[in-house]
Structure 1
Amino acid sequence: MSARVALVGAGQVGRLLVPRLHERGHRIVAAIGRGAAVGQDIGELAGGTPLGVAVRDDIDAALADTRPDVVLMSTASTLAATEADLLSCIRAGAGVISAGEELLAPWASDPGRSDVIDAAAREHGVSVLASGHVDALWVHLPLTLAGIVTHLDRLEGECTRPFAVARSSNAGVSGLLGAPVERYPVERSGDPGAGAAFSSLHAIARGMGLTVLRARSTVTAAIAEQELVVQLPDGERRIAPGTIAGSTRTVELETSAGVALVLHDVARVGAHSTEHWRVSGSPDVELRASAAQGLVSTATQMVARIEDALNVEPGLHTLSDLPPLRYRALG
């Protein structure tokens, strides 16, 4: 299936999408971005040949001029930050696949905006859904693993990814890299809020038919397992084993069926993207997976969802309501 695709977001993920779309036979008809990317050819930005598609900053006009079938959005994580662009895409008659984590289980964290987006999508006959690295690895993989058991007590995951030193939200932790663990300001909350771990677990709960009663989160240090070196704005820093090397957010959902759902979202300097899921029940099951290039797998899974976005019922979809990803051979 070939689709006319628009990209909203011309950053790292947006640029990684370009060759993957071409490989699967899709046509990029528009690219919307900001800053220095505006005016540049999206093919050249992605490190390839020119495509004749310049990055624009006027989303409504760009979509009206090009009429894409589907939009791949790689901008922000929350519905609050992406609602306006989502509605622009919907009103232009385009389905949307977003890398925003909150869209994995949108009603769990922002029911008001979810209702607005769902109603608009139904009115205009298009679908809105999430995908990315967490699609197969943080939602559908644990759902499949839990399907092996006849009795489930606990599903627990530890998903590790590289710690992004350059991200402004990580500035506080970056200043603690290499420091003793005791210096980390541990945070505990009964309201985890938005985020990949919270949204993934809610999508899993919905896929299992579980009712969530309570959620809680704890943020602690990620510990260096070996000596590491990281480049910071003020120079190179060595991180000794046993010291702070990032952060770990642990989210736990308590359900009415007594099943505990737990996810440790670990961001560690020098780490590769890995997933380790454990199912406690009858029988116990355990599985490790690795998609070392997390941003690449975000792009590839978004591209793999295009057919679903064009064929599912109109509306806003929680990720676990969609079928698991599968490879589709080109004809």
Structure 2
Amino acid sequence: MAHDPIRVVVWSTGGVGSIAIDAIRRRPDLELVGVWVHSPEKVGRDAGELAGGTAIGVAATNDADALLALQPDCVVYAASGPQRDADAVPDYLRLLRAGINIVSTTSTSLVYPPAYFAPDWRDQLAAAAASGNASFYASGIFPGFGSDQLALVLTTQSKSIRTVKATEVALNDHYPVASVMMDGMGFGRPLDFDPMLKTPGFIEIAWSAPIHLIAEGLGVKVTEIRGSLDRRVTDRDIDVAFGTVKAGTCGAVCTRAAGVVGGHEAIVIEHIIRMARDVAPDWLSSEHDATYRVDIEGDPDIHCAMTLGDAQGHGAGRGAMAATTMRVVNAVPYVVEAPAGLLSSLDLPITLPRHALE
């Protein structure tokens, strides 16, 4: 029996939103009925053209009331900005209360709602989902897949496990936002500069959700999360998208968060970012622009490396953006079908892509 397409709104037309618009228009089971934009100059423009393609007959708007009036089944929420959750949570509450399901790449800490850093907001979201009989699901690539669900899938081969370690190794010279890269992460700054990453508790909070998601999946309890930051300088100037990383300043950053189970560091998430491949040569490296590794110590030992981009190792930035987007677009039918509430990957079947094989 044929079913009516799922009616979808895309919230923002940045990198993720643009890919979502293009993906939805290709799907016979999904119908794009509206697009929200922040910039006044985008209002009234065709969503397909904003996404870098051809016109599709859907005009972008900044009128949230008009989009709610369309009564979509689901919103693909992809807005970004410095106050991500603070800006997004009021939108989430409004949509959920209106009975509209949400899939989001914005709030990465909600990949595992029980570990969300803002319990008051989480409780409000849960109440809104219950009152509107709607569901919320957040995902992405790291966290969302590479740091958590991929690891859990691989553990289905395990007899016993001592440690699970998920690592992203990335070349991020293409990222253009200086405030994030320099003030947030410390690139291009001397090592005596304290970036946001060095704020006490920041790393532990940032990676709490995937660590606790893995722990619940494996039926264990995390008693503590230990965070650490390591930085290395470059010995030469490196020209990158946000400017020049001068010799003698930070050219590589490694964050590590370890979940303690049974007295030892059992679930570890590590994030290694470089401005050039030859900085910090003693750290784990990759020939690709981005590699996502899972290493499981146990019976048996398991080692898996996932790369994005072309065979030469380039284009990982675009690949990671597409993978992030499709993690939530492919989840739309499953989230619409799911019981109301705040969902994680543990609450859904594998969100296999429908109509993707050409």
Q: Which of the five TM-score ranges fits, normalised by the shorter chain?
A: 0.7 to 0.9
Cα deviation, residue 137, structure 1: 2.3
Q: Tell me which moved more, 284-293 or 245-254.
A: 245-254
Q: Distance in 1 between matches of 2:345 and 2:19?
A: 22
Q: Closer, same or farther in 2 for the Cα pair 1:80/1:285, shift >3 Å?
A: same
Unaligned 5+ segments in structure 2 are 277-287, 309-315
Give the match for residue 179 of structure 2: 168
Q: Closer, same or farther in 2 for the Cα pair 1:50/1:190, shift >3 Å?
A: closer
Superposition map of 1:143-158 within 5 A: 143-158=152-167
Give the match for residue 10 of structure 1: 13
- The superposition leaves residues 37-72 of structure 1 with CA deviations (integer Å, 9 ceiling, x where unpaired) of 3332211111112222222222233211x1111100
Cα deviation, residue 149, structure 1: 1.6
27, 49, 68: which one pairs with 1:24? 27
SS at match of 1:277: strand
Cα deviation, residue 329, structure 1: 4.3
Q: Distance in 2 between matches of 1:173 and 1:246?
A: 13
Give the match for residue 95 of structure 2: 89
Q: Tell me which moved more, 2-11 or 51-60.
A: 51-60
Q: Normalising by structure 1, what TM-score?
A: 0.86
The yes-or-no answer on 1:285 pairing with 2:302 is yes
Give the match for residue 274 of structure 2: 268
Cα deviation, residue 15, structure 1: 0.8
Q: Tell me which moved more, 266-275 or 81-90.
A: 266-275
Give the match for residue 354 of structure 2: 328
Q: Normalising by structure 2, what TM-score?
A: 0.80
- The superposition leaves residues 184-224 of structure 1 with CA deviations (integer Å, 9 ceiling, x where unpaired) of 658374563543x3322222122222212111212222677
SS at match of 2:325: helix
Q: Distance in 2 between matches of 1:330 and 1:176?
A: 38
Tell me if the contact between 1:161 and 1:294 (Cα under 8 Å) persists in the aligned partners. no
Backbone CA RMSD of aligned residues: 2.9
- The superposition leaves residues 145-165 of structure 1 with CA deviations (integer Å, 9 ceiling, x where unpaired) of 122222211111111344324
SS at match of 2:251: strand
Cα deviation, residue 144, structure 1: 1.3
Q: Tell me which moved more, 76-85 or 136-145.
A: 76-85
Q: Closer, same or farther in 2 for the Cα pair 1:257/1:174, shift >3 Å?
A: closer
Q: Closer, same or farther in 2 for the Cα pair 1:231/1:162, shift >3 Å?
A: same
Q: Closer, same or farther in 2 for the Cα pair 1:212/1:225, shift >3 Å?
A: farther
Give the match for residue 202 of structure 1: 212
Q: Closer, same or farther in 2 for the Cα pair 1:151/1:269, shift >3 Å?
A: same
Tell me if the contact between 2:203 and 2:256 (Cα under 8 Å) persists in the aligned partners. no
Give the match for residue 225 of structure 2: 215
- The superposition leaves residues 112-153 of structure 1 with CA deviations (integer Å, 9 ceiling, x where unpaired) of 211211121122111101122233322211001122222211
Q: Distance in 2 between matches of 1:13 and 1:121?
A: 24
Tell me if the contact between 1:228 and 1:238 (Cα under 8 Å) persists in the aligned partners. yes
Give the match for residue 63 of structure 2: 58
Give 2:259's aligned amino acid.
Answer: L
Tell me if the contact between 1:73 and 1:97 (Cα under 8 Å) persists in the aligned partners. yes
249, 270, 278: which one pairs with 2:255? 249
Q: How many residues align?
A: 323
Give 1:210's aligned amino acid.
Answer: V
Give 2:32's aligned amino acid.
Answer: I
117, 120, 135: which one pairs with 2:128? 120
49, 53, 58: which one pairs with 1:44? 49
Give 2:212's aligned amino acid.
Answer: H
Give 1:20's aligned amino acid.
Answer: A
Give the match for residue 338 of structure 2: 312
Cα deviation, residue 97, structure 1: 0.2
Q: Distance in 2 between matches of 1:57 and 1:147?
A: 45
Q: Closer, same or farther in 2 for the Cα pair 1:75/1:231, shift >3 Å?
A: closer
Query: What is the percent sequence identity of the aligned residues?
Result: 24
Cα deviation, residue 82, structure 1: 1.5
Q: Closer, same or farther in 2 for the Cα pair 1:269/1:320, shift >3 Å?
A: farther
Tell me if the contact between 1:207 and 1:321 (Cα under 8 Å) persists in the aligned partners. no
Q: Distance in 2 between matches of 1:189 and 1:216?
A: 11
Q: Tell me which moved more, 130-139 or 110-119.
A: 130-139
Higher RCO (CA < 8 A, seq sep 6+): 1
Tell me if the contact between 1:157 and 1:276 (Cα under 8 Å) persists in the aligned partners. yes
